[in-house]
Structure 1
Protein backbone atom coordinates (compact mmCIF):
# COMPACT_ATOMS: atom_id res chain seq x y z
CA UNK A 1 0.00 0.00 0.00
CA UNK A 2 2.83 2.39 0.89
CA UNK A 3 4.51 1.71 -2.46
CA UNK A 4 1.23 2.39 -4.26
CA UNK A 5 0.76 5.72 -2.43
CA UNK A 6 4.33 6.75 -3.19
CA UNK A 7 4.00 5.70 -6.84
CA UNK A 8 0.79 7.72 -7.26
CA UNK A 9 2.46 10.65 -5.52
CA UNK A 10 5.57 10.40 -7.69
CA UNK A 11 3.52 10.38 -10.88
CA UNK A 12 1.47 13.42 -9.92
CA UNK A 13 4.06 15.74 -8.31
CA UNK A 14 7.12 17.68 -9.37
CA UNK A 15 10.64 16.40 -8.61
CA UNK A 16 10.91 19.15 -5.98
CA UNK A 17 7.77 17.87 -4.24
CA UNK A 18 9.14 14.35 -4.45
CA UNK A 19 12.29 15.40 -2.60
CA UNK A 20 10.23 17.22 0.04
CA UNK A 21 7.90 14.20 0.37
CA UNK A 22 10.87 11.90 1.05
CA UNK A 23 12.32 14.31 3.62
CA UNK A 24 9.02 14.65 5.50
CA UNK A 25 8.38 10.90 5.29
CA UNK A 26 11.78 10.28 6.91
CA UNK A 27 11.05 12.72 9.74
CA UNK A 28 7.54 11.41 10.42
CA UNK A 29 8.08 7.71 10.00
CA UNK A 30 4.81 7.45 8.05
CA UNK A 31 3.39 8.67 4.74
CA UNK A 32 2.25 12.30 4.50
CA UNK A 33 -0.92 12.67 2.45
CA UNK A 34 -1.25 16.42 1.85
CA UNK A 35 2.09 18.19 1.45
CA UNK A 36 0.52 21.66 1.59
CA UNK A 37 0.21 21.50 5.37
CA UNK A 38 3.87 20.58 5.73
CA UNK A 39 4.94 23.27 3.25
CA UNK A 40 3.13 25.79 5.42
CA UNK A 41 4.80 24.38 8.55
CA UNK A 42 8.17 25.43 7.11
CA UNK A 43 7.14 28.79 5.62
CA UNK A 44 8.49 31.83 7.48
CA UNK A 45 6.44 35.01 7.70
CA UNK A 46 9.26 36.99 6.05
CA UNK A 47 8.11 35.62 2.67
CA UNK A 48 4.80 37.50 3.09
CA UNK A 49 2.86 34.72 1.35
CA UNK A 50 -0.93 34.87 1.28
CA UNK A 51 -3.68 32.60 -0.05
CA UNK A 52 -6.44 33.53 -2.51
CA UNK A 53 -8.41 35.14 0.34
CA UNK A 54 -5.49 37.22 1.50
CA UNK A 55 -4.83 35.11 4.61
CA UNK A 56 -1.15 34.79 5.59
CA UNK A 57 0.62 31.54 4.77
CA UNK A 58 3.24 30.74 7.40
CA UNK A 59 3.82 28.35 10.27
CA UNK A 60 2.52 30.53 13.11
CA UNK A 61 -1.08 29.25 13.21
CA UNK A 62 0.17 25.67 12.90
CA UNK A 63 2.53 26.39 15.79
CA UNK A 64 -0.48 27.35 17.93
CA UNK A 65 -2.32 24.16 16.94
CA UNK A 66 0.72 21.95 17.49
CA UNK A 67 1.28 23.43 20.93
CA UNK A 68 -2.27 22.43 21.91
CA UNK A 69 -1.89 18.91 20.47
CA UNK A 70 1.46 18.39 22.21
CA UNK A 71 0.09 19.63 25.52
CA UNK A 72 -2.96 17.35 25.37
CA UNK A 73 -0.97 14.20 24.52
CA UNK A 74 1.59 14.89 27.25
CA UNK A 75 -1.19 15.67 29.75
CA UNK A 76 -2.96 12.38 28.97
CA UNK A 77 0.30 10.44 29.30
CA UNK A 78 1.10 11.98 32.70
CA UNK A 79 -2.49 11.49 33.90
CA UNK A 80 -2.23 7.77 33.14
CA UNK A 81 1.37 7.25 34.29
CA UNK A 82 1.14 9.13 37.60
CA UNK A 83 -2.26 8.29 39.17
CA UNK A 84 -1.18 9.84 42.50
CA UNK A 85 -0.19 13.21 41.00
CA UNK A 86 -2.43 16.15 41.83
CA UNK A 87 -3.22 19.01 39.43
CA UNK A 88 -0.25 21.12 40.52
CA UNK A 89 2.20 18.24 40.15
CA UNK A 90 0.88 17.25 36.72
CA UNK A 91 1.00 20.87 35.52
CA UNK A 92 4.63 21.27 36.62
CA UNK A 93 5.66 18.01 34.99
CA UNK A 94 3.97 18.93 31.72
CA UNK A 95 5.73 22.30 31.77
CA UNK A 96 9.09 20.57 32.14
CA UNK A 97 8.42 18.35 29.14
CA UNK A 98 7.15 21.11 26.85
CA UNK A 99 9.57 23.79 28.05
CA UNK A 100 10.91 26.06 25.32
CA UNK A 101 14.46 24.76 25.81
CA UNK A 102 13.31 21.17 25.39
CA UNK A 103 11.25 21.94 22.29
CA UNK A 104 14.24 23.72 20.78
CA UNK A 105 16.34 20.60 21.40
CA UNK A 106 13.72 18.43 19.68
CA UNK A 107 13.63 20.75 16.66
CA UNK A 108 17.42 20.69 16.45
CA UNK A 109 17.56 16.89 16.70
CA UNK A 110 15.30 16.65 13.64
CA UNK A 111 17.22 19.44 11.84
CA UNK A 112 13.90 21.08 10.96
CA UNK A 113 15.50 24.42 10.19
CA UNK A 114 17.02 22.79 7.10
CA UNK A 115 13.59 22.85 5.43
CA UNK A 116 12.58 26.45 6.25
CA UNK A 117 11.69 28.80 3.40
CA UNK A 118 12.57 32.34 4.44
CA UNK A 119 14.07 35.63 3.34
CA UNK A 120 15.99 35.68 6.62
CA UNK A 121 19.32 33.84 6.73
CA UNK A 122 19.17 30.88 9.11
CA UNK A 123 22.09 32.21 11.19
CA UNK A 124 19.97 35.25 12.05
CA UNK A 125 17.09 33.25 13.51
CA UNK A 126 16.64 33.20 17.27
CA UNK A 127 17.01 29.96 19.21
CA UNK A 128 13.24 29.48 19.49
CA UNK A 129 12.82 28.86 15.76
CA UNK A 130 13.65 25.19 16.38
CA UNK A 131 10.84 24.67 18.90
CA UNK A 132 8.41 26.74 16.85
CA UNK A 133 8.99 24.52 13.83
CA UNK A 134 8.55 21.38 15.92
CA UNK A 135 5.15 22.61 17.14
CA UNK A 136 4.15 23.66 13.61
CA UNK A 137 5.08 20.20 12.33
CA UNK A 138 2.79 18.60 14.93
CA UNK A 139 0.00 20.95 13.82
CA UNK A 140 0.55 19.88 10.21
CA UNK A 141 0.41 16.19 11.18
CA UNK A 142 -2.91 16.77 12.95
CA UNK A 143 -4.44 18.43 9.87
CA UNK A 144 -3.00 15.85 7.51
CA UNK A 145 -3.55 12.55 9.34
CA UNK A 146 -5.65 13.32 12.43
CA UNK A 147 -5.14 12.97 16.16
CA UNK A 148 -4.09 9.30 16.20
CA UNK A 149 -1.07 9.92 13.97
CA UNK A 150 -0.29 13.10 15.89
CA UNK A 151 -0.29 11.12 19.15
CA UNK A 152 1.85 8.38 17.58
CA UNK A 153 4.47 10.93 16.48
CA UNK A 154 4.62 12.59 19.92
CA UNK A 155 5.00 9.23 21.67
CA UNK A 156 7.83 8.23 19.34
CA UNK A 157 9.74 11.53 19.26
CA UNK A 158 9.05 12.97 22.72
CA UNK A 159 7.66 10.54 25.28
CA UNK A 160 9.63 7.34 24.62
CA UNK A 161 13.11 8.91 24.33
CA UNK A 162 12.78 11.82 26.77
CA UNK A 163 10.02 11.41 29.34
CA UNK A 164 11.51 9.86 32.47
CA UNK A 165 9.26 10.72 35.40
CA UNK A 166 11.95 10.27 38.07
CA UNK A 167 14.47 12.47 36.25
CA UNK A 168 11.87 15.11 35.42
CA UNK A 169 10.90 15.46 39.07
CA UNK A 170 14.37 16.76 39.83
CA UNK A 171 14.66 18.96 36.74
CA UNK A 172 14.56 22.74 37.22
CA UNK A 173 13.03 24.63 34.29
CA UNK A 174 13.12 28.11 35.82
CA UNK A 175 15.54 29.12 38.55
CA UNK A 176 13.90 32.54 38.70
CA UNK A 177 10.52 30.99 39.55
CA UNK A 178 12.19 28.77 42.13
CA UNK A 179 13.94 31.72 43.82
CA UNK A 180 10.83 33.91 43.80
CA UNK A 181 8.69 31.09 45.20
CA UNK A 182 11.20 30.51 47.98
CA UNK A 183 11.46 34.23 48.81
CA UNK A 184 7.68 34.54 49.00
CA UNK A 185 7.42 31.44 51.18
CA UNK A 186 10.12 32.71 53.55
CA UNK A 187 8.73 36.29 53.45
CA UNK A 188 12.00 37.66 52.06
CA UNK A 189 12.09 40.75 49.85
CA UNK A 190 13.70 40.37 46.41
CA UNK A 191 14.55 42.67 43.53
CA UNK A 192 16.16 42.21 40.10
CA UNK A 193 18.17 45.33 39.26
CA UNK A 194 18.54 45.22 35.44
CA UNK A 195 20.79 47.59 33.50
CA UNK A 196 22.51 47.78 30.10
CA UNK A 197 26.07 46.53 30.26
CA UNK A 198 27.42 46.54 26.71
CA UNK A 199 30.78 48.16 27.35
CA UNK A 200 32.83 48.39 24.17
CA UNK A 201 31.30 45.27 22.64
CA UNK A 202 29.16 45.40 19.52
CA UNK A 203 26.51 43.08 20.98
CA UNK A 204 24.04 44.55 23.44
CA UNK A 205 24.31 43.01 26.93
CA UNK A 206 22.27 43.36 30.08
CA UNK A 207 23.57 43.09 33.61
CA UNK A 208 21.52 41.96 36.60
CA UNK A 209 22.02 42.28 40.33
CA UNK A 210 19.70 40.09 42.36
CA UNK A 211 19.00 41.45 45.83
CA UNK A 212 17.39 39.41 48.58
CA UNK A 213 16.54 41.31 51.75
CA UNK A 214 18.38 44.31 50.25
CA UNK A 215 21.63 42.33 49.93
CA UNK A 216 23.20 41.50 46.55
CA UNK A 217 23.39 37.70 46.40
CA UNK A 218 24.14 37.17 42.70
CA UNK A 219 25.18 39.00 39.54
CA UNK A 220 24.93 37.95 35.90
CA UNK A 221 25.30 39.22 32.36
CA UNK A 222 23.65 38.04 29.13
CA UNK A 223 22.31 39.20 25.75
CA UNK A 224 18.74 39.58 27.04
CA UNK A 225 17.11 40.67 30.29
CA UNK A 226 15.36 37.32 30.66
CA UNK A 227 18.57 35.32 30.23
CA UNK A 228 20.48 37.57 32.64
CA UNK A 229 17.77 37.24 35.29
CA UNK A 230 17.69 33.47 34.88
CA UNK A 231 21.47 33.21 35.14
CA UNK A 232 21.53 35.36 38.28
CA UNK A 233 18.71 33.27 39.74
CA UNK A 234 20.64 30.07 39.06
CA UNK A 235 23.65 31.45 40.91
CA UNK A 236 21.42 32.52 43.81
CA UNK A 237 19.86 29.06 43.87
CA UNK A 238 23.25 27.42 44.40
CA UNK A 239 23.95 29.88 47.23
CA UNK A 240 20.69 29.01 49.02
CA UNK A 241 20.26 25.47 47.68
CA UNK A 242 20.41 23.66 51.03
CA UNK A 243 17.97 26.10 52.66
CA UNK A 244 15.55 25.77 49.76
CA UNK A 245 15.66 21.97 49.89
CA UNK A 246 15.17 21.87 53.64
CA UNK A 247 12.01 23.91 53.28
CA UNK A 248 10.44 21.74 50.52
Structure 2
Protein backbone atom coordinates (compact mmCIF):
# COMPACT_ATOMS: atom_id res chain seq x y z
CA UNK A 1 0.00 0.00 0.00
CA UNK A 2 2.86 2.39 0.84
CA UNK A 3 4.43 1.71 -2.55
CA UNK A 4 1.08 2.42 -4.20
CA UNK A 5 0.83 5.77 -2.41
CA UNK A 6 4.32 6.69 -3.59
CA UNK A 7 3.21 5.94 -7.15
CA UNK A 8 0.22 8.25 -6.75
CA UNK A 9 2.47 10.98 -5.36
CA UNK A 10 4.63 10.64 -8.47
CA UNK A 11 1.51 10.90 -10.63
CA UNK A 12 0.36 14.01 -8.76
CA UNK A 13 3.71 15.65 -9.47
CA UNK A 14 3.33 14.84 -13.17
CA UNK A 15 -0.08 16.47 -13.05
CA UNK A 16 1.51 19.47 -11.33
CA UNK A 17 -1.29 19.35 -8.78
CA UNK A 18 -1.22 18.62 -5.05
CA UNK A 19 -4.34 16.83 -3.80
CA UNK A 20 -5.88 17.98 -0.53
CA UNK A 21 -7.62 14.60 -0.46
CA UNK A 22 -5.22 12.06 -2.05
CA UNK A 23 -7.82 9.28 -1.84
CA UNK A 24 -9.64 10.96 -4.73
CA UNK A 25 -6.68 10.26 -7.00
CA UNK A 26 -6.65 6.65 -5.83
CA UNK A 27 -10.32 6.26 -6.73
CA UNK A 28 -9.76 7.98 -10.07
CA UNK A 29 -7.17 5.36 -10.95
CA UNK A 30 -9.30 2.38 -9.87
CA UNK A 31 -11.08 0.47 -12.63
CA UNK A 32 -14.39 -1.24 -11.83
CA UNK A 33 -12.78 -4.65 -12.40
CA UNK A 34 -10.77 -4.16 -9.19
CA UNK A 35 -13.91 -4.86 -7.17
CA UNK A 36 -13.55 -1.83 -4.89
CA UNK A 37 -14.74 1.77 -5.10
CA UNK A 38 -14.09 2.63 -8.74
CA UNK A 39 -13.70 5.66 -10.97
CA UNK A 40 -16.90 5.53 -13.05
CA UNK A 41 -18.65 8.42 -11.28
CA UNK A 42 -15.51 10.56 -11.43
CA UNK A 43 -15.15 9.69 -15.11
CA UNK A 44 -18.69 10.95 -15.71
CA UNK A 45 -17.85 14.23 -14.00
CA UNK A 46 -14.43 14.56 -15.61
CA UNK A 47 -15.92 14.16 -19.07
CA UNK A 48 -18.09 17.23 -18.42
CA UNK A 49 -15.19 19.22 -16.93
CA UNK A 50 -12.99 18.39 -19.92
CA UNK A 51 -15.71 19.30 -22.41
CA UNK A 52 -16.42 22.64 -20.74
CA UNK A 53 -12.71 23.50 -20.47
CA UNK A 54 -11.95 22.69 -24.10
CA UNK A 55 -15.10 24.48 -25.34
CA UNK A 56 -14.23 27.69 -23.50
CA UNK A 57 -10.60 27.56 -24.62
CA UNK A 58 -11.55 27.10 -28.27
CA UNK A 59 -14.20 29.83 -28.08
CA UNK A 60 -11.63 32.32 -26.77
CA UNK A 61 -8.70 31.15 -28.90
CA UNK A 62 -10.54 31.12 -32.24
CA UNK A 63 -12.91 34.14 -32.28
CA UNK A 64 -13.51 33.86 -36.03
CA UNK A 65 -14.10 30.09 -36.19
CA UNK A 66 -17.56 28.85 -37.10
CA UNK A 67 -19.65 26.71 -34.78
CA UNK A 68 -18.93 23.75 -37.04
CA UNK A 69 -15.16 24.27 -36.87
CA UNK A 70 -15.27 24.68 -33.09
CA UNK A 71 -17.26 21.46 -32.77
CA UNK A 72 -14.80 19.65 -35.03
CA UNK A 73 -11.80 20.74 -32.96
CA UNK A 74 -13.55 19.92 -29.70
CA UNK A 75 -14.49 16.43 -30.92
CA UNK A 76 -10.86 15.81 -31.83
CA UNK A 77 -9.48 17.05 -28.51
CA UNK A 78 -11.90 15.16 -26.25
CA UNK A 79 -11.71 11.93 -28.25
CA UNK A 80 -10.38 8.73 -26.70
CA UNK A 81 -7.42 8.94 -29.06
CA UNK A 82 -6.41 12.40 -27.80
CA UNK A 83 -7.03 11.41 -24.18
CA UNK A 84 -4.77 8.38 -24.68
CA UNK A 85 -2.01 10.61 -26.06
CA UNK A 86 -2.26 12.94 -23.06
CA UNK A 87 -2.37 9.98 -20.65
CA UNK A 88 0.78 8.57 -22.22
CA UNK A 89 2.64 11.80 -21.43
CA UNK A 90 2.15 11.22 -17.71
CA UNK A 91 2.41 7.40 -17.97
CA UNK A 92 -1.03 7.04 -16.44
CA UNK A 93 -1.25 3.37 -17.44
CA UNK A 94 1.31 2.50 -14.73
CA UNK A 95 -0.97 3.89 -12.02
CA UNK A 96 -4.30 2.23 -12.90
CA UNK A 97 -5.55 -0.44 -10.50
CA UNK A 98 -7.49 -3.21 -12.24
CA UNK A 99 -8.11 -6.97 -12.29
CA UNK A 100 -5.98 -8.54 -15.01
CA UNK A 101 -8.28 -11.58 -15.13
CA UNK A 102 -11.36 -9.49 -15.93
CA UNK A 103 -10.12 -6.76 -18.24
CA UNK A 104 -7.18 -5.39 -20.17
CA UNK A 105 -5.53 -2.02 -19.77
CA UNK A 106 -6.80 -0.86 -23.16
CA UNK A 107 -6.50 2.70 -24.58
CA UNK A 108 -10.18 3.21 -23.72
CA UNK A 109 -9.63 2.20 -20.08
CA UNK A 110 -6.66 4.56 -19.85
CA UNK A 111 -8.58 7.42 -21.50
CA UNK A 112 -11.53 6.93 -19.14
CA UNK A 113 -9.16 6.96 -16.17
CA UNK A 114 -7.73 10.30 -17.28
CA UNK A 115 -11.23 11.76 -17.38
CA UNK A 116 -11.73 10.42 -13.86
CA UNK A 117 -8.52 12.18 -12.78
CA UNK A 118 -9.92 15.45 -14.14
CA UNK A 119 -13.11 14.83 -12.18
CA UNK A 120 -11.11 14.13 -9.03
CA UNK A 121 -9.19 17.40 -9.35
CA UNK A 122 -12.47 19.28 -9.83
CA UNK A 123 -13.95 17.75 -6.64
CA UNK A 124 -10.71 18.32 -4.74
CA UNK A 125 -10.47 21.99 -5.75
CA UNK A 126 -12.57 23.88 -8.28
CA UNK A 127 -13.23 24.39 -11.98
CA UNK A 128 -10.38 26.86 -12.41
CA UNK A 129 -7.78 24.49 -10.99
CA UNK A 130 -9.08 21.55 -13.00
CA UNK A 131 -9.03 23.62 -16.19
CA UNK A 132 -5.46 24.73 -15.52
CA UNK A 133 -4.31 21.12 -15.20
CA UNK A 134 -6.18 20.10 -18.35
CA UNK A 135 -4.85 22.95 -20.48
CA UNK A 136 -1.31 22.37 -19.25
CA UNK A 137 -1.47 18.67 -20.18
CA UNK A 138 -3.10 19.43 -23.51
CA UNK A 139 -0.57 22.07 -24.54
CA UNK A 140 1.35 19.83 -27.01
CA UNK A 141 -1.90 18.88 -28.76
CA UNK A 142 -3.14 22.47 -28.81
CA UNK A 143 0.04 23.66 -30.48
CA UNK A 144 -0.45 21.26 -33.38
CA UNK A 145 -4.19 21.51 -33.95
CA UNK A 146 -5.32 22.90 -37.30
CA UNK A 147 -8.91 23.06 -38.51
CA UNK A 148 -8.06 22.05 -42.05
CA UNK A 149 -6.22 18.90 -41.03
CA UNK A 150 -9.23 17.68 -39.01
CA UNK A 151 -11.74 17.90 -41.82
CA UNK A 152 -12.29 14.67 -43.66
CA UNK A 153 -14.15 14.68 -46.99
CA UNK A 154 -17.36 13.33 -45.44
CA UNK A 155 -17.51 16.20 -42.95
CA UNK A 156 -16.63 18.71 -45.65
CA UNK A 157 -19.35 17.38 -47.96
CA UNK A 158 -21.91 17.44 -45.16
CA UNK A 159 -21.05 21.04 -44.24
CA UNK A 160 -21.24 22.10 -47.88
CA UNK A 161 -24.71 20.59 -48.29
CA UNK A 162 -26.05 21.84 -44.94
CA UNK A 163 -24.86 25.35 -45.72
CA UNK A 164 -27.09 25.36 -48.79
CA UNK A 165 -29.90 23.45 -47.05
CA UNK A 166 -29.56 20.42 -49.32
CA UNK A 167 -30.37 16.81 -48.52
CA UNK A 168 -27.46 14.85 -47.03
CA UNK A 169 -25.86 11.98 -48.98
CA UNK A 170 -26.17 8.28 -48.26
CA UNK A 171 -23.36 5.73 -48.46
CA UNK A 172 -23.37 2.09 -49.49
CA UNK A 173 -20.43 -0.23 -48.85
CA UNK A 174 -19.41 -3.56 -50.30
CA UNK A 175 -16.26 -5.64 -50.23
CA UNK A 176 -14.52 -5.53 -53.58
CA UNK A 177 -11.82 -8.18 -53.30
CA UNK A 178 -8.97 -9.59 -51.24
CA UNK A 179 -8.53 -11.98 -48.33
CA UNK A 180 -9.34 -11.11 -44.71
CA UNK A 181 -5.93 -9.50 -44.20
CA UNK A 182 -5.96 -7.46 -47.41
CA UNK A 183 -9.54 -6.39 -48.09
CA UNK A 184 -10.47 -3.74 -50.62
CA UNK A 185 -13.75 -1.86 -50.28
CA UNK A 186 -15.89 0.13 -52.68
CA UNK A 187 -18.23 2.82 -51.38
CA UNK A 188 -21.04 4.52 -53.26
CA UNK A 189 -21.97 8.08 -52.34
CA UNK A 190 -25.51 8.89 -53.45
CA UNK A 191 -26.87 12.44 -53.56
CA UNK A 192 -30.50 12.18 -54.63
CA UNK A 193 -31.17 15.92 -54.55
CA UNK A 194 -28.60 16.44 -57.32
CA UNK A 195 -29.09 13.06 -59.03
CA UNK A 196 -25.38 12.34 -58.54
CA UNK A 197 -23.48 9.17 -57.67
CA UNK A 198 -19.78 8.60 -57.07
CA UNK A 199 -17.70 5.54 -56.22
CA UNK A 200 -14.73 5.46 -53.88
CA UNK A 201 -12.14 2.81 -53.15
CA UNK A 202 -9.97 2.03 -50.14
CA UNK A 203 -8.48 -0.62 -47.87
CA UNK A 204 -11.05 0.21 -45.19
CA UNK A 205 -14.72 1.18 -45.22
CA UNK A 206 -13.81 4.62 -43.91
CA UNK A 207 -11.19 5.22 -46.60
CA UNK A 208 -13.59 4.12 -49.34
CA UNK A 209 -16.36 6.41 -48.07
CA UNK A 210 -13.96 9.35 -47.83
CA UNK A 211 -12.78 8.73 -51.39
CA UNK A 212 -16.39 8.68 -52.61
CA UNK A 213 -17.17 11.88 -50.67
CA UNK A 214 -14.07 13.59 -52.11
CA UNK A 215 -15.23 12.73 -55.63
CA UNK A 216 -18.72 14.00 -54.84
CA UNK A 217 -17.28 17.34 -53.69
CA UNK A 218 -15.39 17.58 -56.98
CA UNK A 219 -18.57 16.87 -58.92
CA UNK A 220 -20.50 19.51 -57.01
CA UNK A 221 -17.73 22.04 -57.60
CA UNK A 222 -17.86 21.30 -61.33
CA UNK A 223 -21.62 21.83 -61.36
CA UNK A 224 -21.33 25.21 -59.65
CA UNK A 225 -18.22 26.41 -61.51
Could you state the TM-score of these two structures normalised by the residue count of structure 2?
Answer: 0.74
2:189/2:209 contact within 8 Å kept: no
What does 1:2-21 align with in structure 2 at a 5 Å threshold? 15-21=2-8
Cα distance in 1 between the residues matched to 2:152 and 2:171: 17
Three-state SS of the structure 2 residue aligned to 1:171 is helix
Residue aligning to 1:162: 141
Cα distance in 1 between the residues matched to 2:25 and 2:220: 46
Equivalent pairs counted in the alignment come to 214
Cα distance in 2 between the residues matched to 1:26 and 1:192: 50
Residue aligning to 2:194: none
> Structure 1 residues 124, 233: closer, same or farther in 2, change over 3 A?
farther
What does 1:133-172 align with in structure 2 at a 5 Å threshold? 133-158=113-138, 160-164=139-143, 167-172=145-150
Could you state the TM-score of these two structures normalised by the residue count of structure 1?
Answer: 0.68
Three-state SS of the structure 2 residue aligned to 1:73 is helix
1:21/1:32 contact within 8 Å kept: no
What does 1:94-173 align with in structure 2 at a 5 Å threshold? 94-120=74-100, 124-158=104-138, 160-164=139-143, 167-172=145-150
1:62/1:136 contact within 8 Å kept: yes
Three-state SS of the structure 2 residue aligned to 1:33 is coil
What does 1:1-248 align with in structure 2 at a 5 Å threshold? 15-49=2-36, 57-120=37-100, 124-158=104-138, 160-164=139-143, 167-172=145-150, 176-178=154-156, 190-193=170-173, 208-213=185-190, 216-221=199-204, 229-236=205-212
Cα distance in 2 between the residues matched to 1:125 and 1:176: 32
Residue aligning to 1:4: none
Three-state SS of the structure 2 residue aligned to 1:163 is helix
Cα distance in 2 between the residues matched to 1:230 and 1:183: 20
The two structures, once aligned, show a CA RMSD in angstroms of: 3.7
Residue aligning to 1:11: none
2:15/2:90 contact within 8 Å kept: no
Three-state SS of the structure 2 residue aligned to 1:170 is helix
2:187/2:201 contact within 8 Å kept: yes
Q: What are the Cα deviations for residues 4-57 of structure 1, in whole angstroms up to 9, with x where unaligned?
A: xxxxxxxxxx623541342222221131221221111111111232xxxxxxx2
Larger RCO, structures 1/2 (Cα 8 Å, 6+ apart): 2
> Structure 1 residues 108, 206: closer, same or farther in 2, change over 3 A?
farther
